[in-house]
Amino acid sequence: MTSPSPDDLNLETLARFTLALAGVLALIGLCGWVLRRLVASGVISGALLPTRPSRAQRLGIVEVRQLDIRHRLVLIRRDGVEHLLLLGATHETVIETGIIAPTSQPAAVSSVKDNSR
């Protein structure tokens, strides 16, 4: 048996390195794809992920309240003015528009227990 020449070892080392690099890059790409899917589906929050710097946002969801299985109230803010919407499975209704947005966050409202029952 003869020992392999140094050129064969260099080619084998280069091939292993190339395959390992391709495998690591594929794993990084797969992890990024999975992370994007999880954020898009709402399983995890995207708050800690880096975002692209952009201009000031003009539109945003302030609050969402589920009324029942098919209906929810959504308070949106556009250019400092809030709008209250009722969203259903087959319809959308504007409840109130032109609500002036508060300049500061209101204090948390404490819940009052109803003992009238």
Higher pLDDT, 12 or 9: 12
What are the φ/ψ torsions at residue 72 (nearest 5 degrees)? -145, 145
* Per-residue model confidence as pLDDT tens digits over 50-70: 666 666 778 889 999 999 989
Would you state the pLDDT for residue 12?
A: 86
Q: Is the pLDDT of residue 11 over 90?
A: no
* Per-residue model confidence as pLDDT tens digits over 42-54: 777 776 666 666 6
Would you state the pLDDT for residue 28?
A: 96
Q: Is the pLDDT of residue 40 over 50?
A: yes
* Per-residue model confidence as pLDDT tens digits over 97-116: 888 877 765 544 444 444 44
d(CA 99, CA 79): 11
Do 84 and 73 contact (CB within 8 A), yes or no?
yes
